[in-house]
Chains A and B, each alone.
Chain A
C-alpha cells in the first residue's frame, strides 16, 4: 500500500544532481529501509520521492577506510559489514557490541550505520556507541561542500538532526585510540535477547595508561532522554582516576553525575523509574 517514486543514483555526481533537482519536492533518503518503511507505514506523505542510496557506487559512502587518525566508516556500511571487520572488533568493542545487539541477523544485513545515525532515535544502538567514541559526522551538500560535526551536536531531538534539506551524511569518523589499554563495551537493557529496542543503554569506552589511570573517557546513555547523551561531567570526573580500583564513593559520585543527564519517560515498555534505576545500577557495575 506504499505508493512513492524511487530514484536510484549510481554515482555521487548523479546523487548531487538528484538532490539539487528535488529541493522543492518532498523526498527521503533510503539506505537499508529498516526504519524508513516503518516510518512511511505509520505516516505516508503525499507525492513522496525516495532517493534510493542502495545502488550508489561510491566508496566514500560504502567503505571502511583506515588511516593514521582513525577509521572513516561510510554511511552505507551495514551492521553486518561492521561486525565482520577485525579493526572495529579489536579497537572499538563498544561499537562492535552495540552493532551486534541490533535487531536480528536479517535486519543487520540491511541496516546501515548512516541510517541508524540519521534516524536519530534515542535508542539507536550503533549511534550510542558512536557518541561514546566521540565520532564526527561528515556531511556533504548537493554542491559538494563538506562540513564536519561532532555526533553529539548532530542529534537535535527525537528523530531530529542538524541535516539541512540539501545535505546528506556521507561517512562517520571515529578517532584512533591513544592507548591500547582500553575498557570498552555496550550494555543494552531490554526484554528479549534479539529483536529488541533498548529500554536503556550504556556505551562506554575508557582509554587507560599503563597504571590503569583513565586518560580518555567516553560514556553515553541511550533511551533515557530525547537524544543519546554524552555524559561529559561523569567523563571529566573519571579522568586521571585508576579505574580498576575506584572506591565506593567515587563509584557513587560517577553514577550521580550520570543521573543528572537522564530525563527518562514512562511508556508501555518501562517506567521512567525503571529506566533510571537500571541506568544507575548498571553504571555502578561497570566501574566495580
Chain B
C-alpha cells in the first residue's frame, strides 16, 4: 500500500498565482533601472550576402544615441554549441536573423531611428535553403567556421547508433515498410518576447544580467566565454519568465550584444524583442526529413528499425543539433525493438538555425514511428491497438540501448486510453459502416500513439545535479534556496509542497528563492522534464539534514533521547511531548551549540553517462504515455477538428494534480498546433509570416476536451515515486492526430502540418482516381 500523504497529491495553486492574474508579476519587460538605455539590433536585409561596407556615422551623430557597435568595435569569442557563430557578422551574412550592428539610445524611438540611419552595402548571393542541395559536391561551404569532421563541408553534426543485427531481423520480417516523413519548422510563441537587461559597472567590472534563461549557470559561463570575462564577475538574475518551452537553452547573440552595449556605455541597457523580431530571431523546432524503414514478423512483433534523419541545421549550430540524443532513444527503445540502426545529420543551410523545443526531437521521431506502426498493422491485418500491446515496453526491460525500465506504465497507459476512448468500437465502426459514411460531409476517425521520454533527468552534461540550501528563521519560516528554475511550470510550488509534507510548516510560511546565481547553489537548468525530479530529490536530501539538526536540539530541550519526531502545524511531536519549531531554532541559535538552522545538500541523480556508442542508463527513470485522439474531417474544406483527446501517462506519482493537468493540456495544445496549423513559412530564407495573423497558433477556442488518466508506478528514484512529466504530453499528439485523420478519410499523409489545403487536395485526387477507375 502506498502511504496517503498530507499535501502531495492534492491540488495546490501556484505560489504566485495571485500576482500572475492581477498583473503584479515583474517580467523582464517591466524592469526599469536608473539611467537605463534602450538597445536595438540591426539585422540583415538578405539571408545570404557578402557585406561590402557598414557605415554607422549618421546613426552615431543622432541626438540621444549613446553607442553604436559592429563587429569592428568588439573583442569577443564565437558562440553556440559548436562555436561556429559570430555575435556580429562582418564579412558575410548567412541567414535572415544575422546581426550586423547594435545601438543604445536614450529612448526606443531614437534607437529605432538610428537603425534606419545605418548604411550597409551588400553583394547578394544565391543562398541554399534545402539541406540536400547543401550536400551536393558543388555547394559552397556555408559556415566558414565548421570543422569539416563528417566527410562533407556542410555537415555540422552527425550521430550514429546501432544495436542488434538488422540483416538477420530483416529475414525474420513478414512486412517491411519504408517511408519518408517530413516535419515543419515551428516556434515556441512565448507570450513574453525575448528580453534582457544588462548593467555593467565600470567601477568594479561586475556585470549583472536580468535574463530569461532556462540554464542560468551554463548561461553565465557562455556569456563569460563570449565576452572574454571571468564567469564569477557575471551575475545572472531571472525575472519572471513568460514562457520557456526550451527556447531559452541557447544563449543567443542579442544577449552578449546587450551586455556589450552596457559595457561600452557604462549604463544599464535593456533590449526587448518586438513580436515580429521574436518570430524572426528566436529559436524554432528543427525541421527534419526522416527516412524510416521498419519491420514486423507474422505475429506482429517488431523486428527492426532503420532510420536516416536529415536535419536542417540552418546557418549555425545550436542545441537543436543535439536532439538526436533523445530521438535515438525513441527509435531504439519505444516498444521492444530487437535491432536498430540510427543515423542523423545536421546540415548547414541559409535558413535560420533551430534550437531546443519541448520534446527535443521526440515529437518528430514519435510522429514517424507511430504513423509507421499503423501501416505495419494494416499490412499485417492486425489491430492497431493490438500491435502496440504486443510490442509494448514492460517493467524490468533493459533495452538494446541500455535504458533500464525499473518501473513502466506503458501497458497500463495504452490500455487506459484504448478503453476510455472506446478505440476498438470506433475504429471498427469505421470499417463496417464505411459505405454509409461515404456520403456524409464530416468524417470521424480515431488515432493512437505512445511515447517514451526521460523521466529522471538526462545525463548529457558533466553533472545533472541540483543544490539546495534551507534556512528556518527565528519565527518558524522556511526559506528554500534552490538551484532549480521556475519558468511557469510550477516547480516553486511543488518544492513548497514537499517541504509542507516533510516539515509540517504551513505553505504560507515557506519562501522559495531561485533567481540569482550569486545566491543559489548550482543546477544544470530547467529542461528534460527534470526539475521536480532532481530539485525534489535535492530538497528531500536537505530536509533530512535539517531534521537531524532539529531532532537533536528538540530532544535536548525536551530531555529525551535523540529520536524521530512527527512534524505537524509548525510543531514537533514525540509521544505526548510537543515543541514549536521556531522555539527549537531560537534555542539552537541563542543557546548551545550557537548555530543557525541552515543546511546545504547537493543531489546528483544515479543515472550514468552513455558510452561512445550512446549506450547506457541515461536517466533516473523513464516516462511512458499514450494518447487516443478523435477527429472529424470536413471533406468540403479539409479542415480537421479535434473532438476529444484521451491522455494516459506514467507520471510515477501525482504530486500536484492541478499543475499536472496544466502541463498535460498545454502539451496537447502545442501538439495539436504542430500537427495541424503551425508552420513558419519561408521563401528563399525569409520568413513570410512573422506574426500571429499568419502563424496559426491555436487559441483556447480551439481546444478540445482533454481527458487525463495518470498512471502511478511509484518509481523508487523519484520524489515520492514521481517521474518527469513536462515534455511527454506533446510528444505523441501529432502522431495520434495523423493516425486519426488517416482513419477518417483513408488517406495517409507523410508530412506535417496536416493543413486544410493538403487534405482537400488529397481528397479531391482520391475522388478523381475513383471516377477514373470505374
Asked if A and B are interacting partners, one says: yes
Q: Is A26 an interface residue (CB 8 A)?
A: no
State the Cβ distance, B301 to closest chain A Cβ, in Å: 41
A1 to B111, CA, bound (A): 11
B109 contacts A by Cβ under 8 Å: yes
B687 to chain A, nearest CB (A): 10
Contacts of A269 in B (CB 8 A): 694
Question: B692 within 8 Å of A by Cβ?
Answer: yes
Contact B699 A192 (CB under 8 A): yes
Binding site secondary structure of chain B: loop
Residues of B at the A interface (CB closer than 8 Å) are: 108-109, 112, 441, 636-639, 677, 681, 688-689, 692-694, 696, 698-699, 701-702, 756-757, 760, 764
A268 touches B689 (CB 8 A): yes
* Cα A1 to Cα B689 with chains together (Å): 22
- Return chain A residues, CB-CB under 8 Å to B681: 268
Contact residues, A262-288 vs B (CB, 8 A): 268-271, 274, 277-278, 281-282, 285
CA A249 to CA B689, docked complex, whole Å: 41
A281 lies within 8 A of B637 (CB): yes
Q: A191: CB under 8 A from chain B?
A: yes
Is A140 in the interface zone, CB < 8 Å from B? no
State which residues 190-222 of A face B: CB under 8 Å: 191-195, 197
Q: How far, in Å, is B757 (CB) from chain A's closest CB?
A: 5
CB distance from B253 to the nearest CB of A (A): 24
A271 to B761, CA, bound (A): 11
Report the minimal beta-carbon distance from A171 to chain B, rounded to whole angstroms.
30
Contacts A274-B756, A277-B760 known; A282 to B699 CB distance under 8 Å? no
Residue from A104, A193, A268 in contact with B694 in the complex, judged by beta carbons closer than 8 Å: A268
Query: Are A1's CB and B756's CB within 8 A?
Result: no
Contact present for B701 and A194 (CB under 8 Å) = yes
Q: How far is the CA of A104 from the CA of B760 in the complex (A)?
A: 27
A189 interface contact, C-beta 8 A: yes
Knowing A1-B109, A268-B681, the reply to whether A192 touches B693 (Cβ < 8 A) is no
Q: Which residue of A lies closest to B700 (CB)?
A: A194
Contact A191 B692 (CB under 8 A): no
In the complex, A193 Cα to B702 Cα: how many Å? 6
Q: Report the Cα distance A107→B447, complex, angstroms.
A: 36
- Alpha-carbon distance A268/B367, docked complex (angstroms): 25
- The one of A1, A3, A193, A278 that contacts B637, using a Cβ cutoff of 8 Å: A278
Pair A193/B688 contact, Cβ less than 8 Å: no
Q: Whole-angstrom distance between the alpha carbons of A197 and B692 in the complex?
A: 11
With A274-B757, A282-B637 in contact, do A191 and B696 touch (Cβ < 8 Å)? Answer: yes
Residues of B within 8 A of A104 (CB): 699, 701
Partner-B contacts on A (CB < 8 A): 1, 3, 104, 189, 191-195, 197, 268-271, 274, 277-278, 281-282, 285
B691 to chain A, nearest CB (A): 10
Contact B757–A281 (Cβ < 8 Å): no
Docked CA distance A282–B639 (Å): 13
A278 to B757, CA, bound (A): 10
Q: Report chain B residues within 8 Å CB of A274.
A: 638, 756-757, 760
Contact check, A1 vs B699: say whether CB atoms are below 8 A apart. Answer: no
> Closest approach, in angstroms, between the C-beta of B277 and any C-beta of chain A?
14
**With A269-B694, A278-B760, A282-B636 already in contact, 4 other A-B pairs whose C-beta atoms are closer than 8 Å:** A104-B699, A192-B698, A193-B699, A281-B637
Q: Which 10 pairs across A and B sit closest by C-beta, in order of nearness?
A: A281-B636, A194-B701, A193-B701, A191-B696, A274-B757, A268-B688, A278-B637, A193-B702, A268-B681, A191-B677
A285 and B108 form a contact (CB under 8 A): no
Contact A192 B677 (CB under 8 A): yes
Evaluate contact between A277 and B677: CB separation under 8 angstroms. no
Is there an interface contact between A285 and B636, defined as CB atoms closer than 8 Å?
Answer: yes
Does A277 contact B764, Cβ atoms closer than 8 Å?
yes
A282–B109 alpha-carbon span in the complex (Å)? 48
Residues on the A chain within 8 Å of B702, using CB: 192-194
B699 contacts A194, C-beta separation under 8 Å = yes
B701: chain A residues at CB < 8 Å are 104, 192-195
A170 and B764 alpha carbons, distance in the complex (Å) = 47
Partner of B756 from A191, A194, A285 at Cβ < 8 Å: A191
Partner of B108, one of A1, A197, A270, A278: A1
Complex CA gap A285/B756 in Å reads: 18
**11 pairs, CB–CB < 8 Å, chain A vs chain B:** A191-B639, A191-B677, A192-B699, A193-B699, A197-B693, A268-B688, A271-B757, A274-B756, A274-B757, A277-B764, A282-B637
Asked if residues B636 and A278 are in contact (CB atoms below 8 Å), the reply is yes
Contact of B699 among A195, A197, A277 (CB under 8 A): A195
Whether the Cβ atoms of B637 and A270 lie closer than 8 Å is no
Task: Tell which of A1, A104, A285 has the most Cβ of chain B within 10 Å.
Answer: A1
Are B112 and A1 in contact (CB-based, < 8 A)?
A: yes
Which of B109, B689, B696, B764 lies in contact with A192, CB distance below 8 A? B696
A2 nearest CB across to chain B (Å):
10
Contacting residues, chain A, for B693 (C-beta < 8 A): 197
- Give every chain B residue within 8 A of A285 (Cβ-Cβ): 441, 636
Smallest CB gap from B681: residue in A: A268
CB nearest neighbor in A for B679? A268
* Shortest Cβ distance from residue B612 to the other chain A in the assembled complex, whole angstroms: 45
Cα-based distance from A285 to B439 in the complex (angstroms): 13
- Considering the complex, give the chain B residue whose CB is closest to the CB of A1: B109
A74 to B515 alpha-carbon distance, docked (Å): 54
Q: Is the CB of B112 within 8 A of A195?
A: no
- Residues of chain A lying within 8 A (CB to CB) of residue B108: 1
B480 to chain A, nearest CB (A): 38
A195 to B699, CA, bound (A): 8
| A259, chain B: closest CB distance, angstroms | 15
- CA of A1 to CA of B274, assembled, Å: 12
Instruction: Please give me the residue from chain A that is nearest to B694 by CB atom.
Output: A268
CB distance from B256 to the nearest CB of A (A): 26
Residues of chain A within 8 A of B692, CB atoms compared: 195
